[in-house]
Amino acid sequence: MNKKIVLTGIKPTGYIHLGNYVGAIKPALNLAQQDNLIPIYFIADYHALTSINNPSDYRRYIYSLAATWLSLGLNPDKVIFYKQSDLPEVFELTWILSCLTPKGLMNRAHAYKSKVDINIERGLDIDNGINMGLYTYPILMAADILLFNADIVPVGKDQVQHIEIARDIALQFNKTYGEIFNIPNYSINEETSVLPGIDGRKMSKSYNNTIPLFESPDKLKKQIFKIKTDSSLPGDPKDPDNSILFSIYKEFATQDQILEMEEKFRNGIGWGQVKQELFDVINNYLEEPRKKYMYYIERHELIDSILKKGAEKARELSSPFLKKIRKAIGAE
Ligand code: TRP
């Protein structure tokens, strides 16, 4: 039986928060446990370049993201784990795919369109502040995916359109040059894909409502105590299904703890107490990973060597496949 390839990337644009962990990293690490899948996970560093132009921030975010994956349990002997920019094949394929991608497809991409809309709203030139990297972002992402003939791409809901674009591009290529690419599918984890942030909206760096994963316990506690609650008092029965605190609690607590907490909500536990218990559960959950994170983050050479080895493994797959693609288009 042919093993399926599951591939995903995260771009290093900031420090990983609980929402990234629950929505992306945790499900990907669970999939990596399945014997019938080949997991390929990477740091999409050149995607981050569309928005980050400060070299020291950029470098810091890359190492932080690598250390995050490793400390949460990514085993580089089992997962092909690399940095996108270490694979020249990705960028060659990006160009080939660009030449098959209708410009109109890029005009319709959400990330680009929403920037245009903001410019129009503000009475600015429609392309104000938009670089070509942002514009062609979906093509680079299609190359990431198609270069490995990935079957399954676990992503958040905001990325679904990008996978659809990758599918369109693959179909266009196959129609033009013959059946080279597999048509990839996305997978979204419906239940856990969206963790609320401290204001109740989706936890996201752009909303400034995140709880960082690897901060000190003090900072973690501070953020948790900022989470918005309603004005009900200790003693008032509360609805767990309507509580940001409970939504987050569920992701880190054991089944027994979750049931107990539901009971406490019905019995009118005070919000301060819920916050304390939420902090305890998360802090406990993160204790070991936090130590590992500190270990890796102080050892850049170790991270470098893990990523280099990963890139070598990745290139064992990508370079013969790119050769096949080059043959198909007539470059060889
Ligand atoms: N665009 C994705 C994000 O912002 C990151 C990404 C880049 C990616 N290349 C990918 C995800 C390939 C899945 C597959 O989250």
CATH number of the CATH domain containing 290: 1.10.240.10
| Same domain, residue pair 24 and 74 | yes
| Same domain, residue pair 286 and 312 | no
Query: How many domains is the chain partitioned into structurally?
Result: 2
Spatial separation of the C-alpha atoms in residues 96 and 102, rounded to whole Å: 13
At residue 1, the pLDDT reads 65
Task: Tell me the average pLDDT across 273-299.
Answer: 97
Using one digit for the tens of pLDDT, what is the confidence trace for 41-86? 999 999 999 999 999 999 999 999 999 999 999 999 999 999 999 9
Contacts of 113 (CB under 8 A, 6+ apart): 107
Classified as helix, coil or strand, 190 is coil
Q: Residue 193: pLDDT band by 50, 70, 90 thresholds?
A: low
At residue 111, the pLDDT reads 93
The more confidently predicted of residues 190 and 109 is 109
At residue 191, the pLDDT reads 60
Phi, psi of 197 (to 5 degrees): -90, -175
In the predicted model, is pLDDT for residue 14 greater than 90?
A: yes
DSSP β-bridge partners for residue 80? 40
Q: Report how far ligand 1's centroid is from the alpha carbon of 11 (Å).
A: 7
Q: Residue 192: pLDDT band by 50, 70, 90 thresholds?
A: low
At residue 205, the pLDDT reads 86
Catalytic (active-site) positions:
115, 202, 205
Contacts of 46 (CB under 8 A, 6+ apart): 84, 85, 90, 91, 140
Spatial separation of the C-alpha atoms in residues 332 and 327, rounded to whole Å: 5
Taking the whole predicted model, whether its pTM rises above 0.75 is answered as yes
| Same domain, residue pair 290 and 304 | no
Pairing of strands 152-154, 185-187: parallel
| Same domain, residue pair 228 and 138 | no
* Percent of the chain with pLDDT strictly greater than 90: 93
Residues near ligand 1 (Cβ within 6 A): 7-11, 44, 47, 141, 144-145, 153, 155, 159, 162
| Same domain, residue pair 290 and 177 | no
In the predicted model, is pLDDT for residue 188 greater than 90?
A: no
Q: Report how far ligand 1's centroid is from the alpha carbon of 10 (Å).
A: 5
Q: Report how far ligand 1's centroid is from the alpha carbon of 156 (Å).
A: 9
In which domain, by residue range, is 271 found? Answer: 214-294
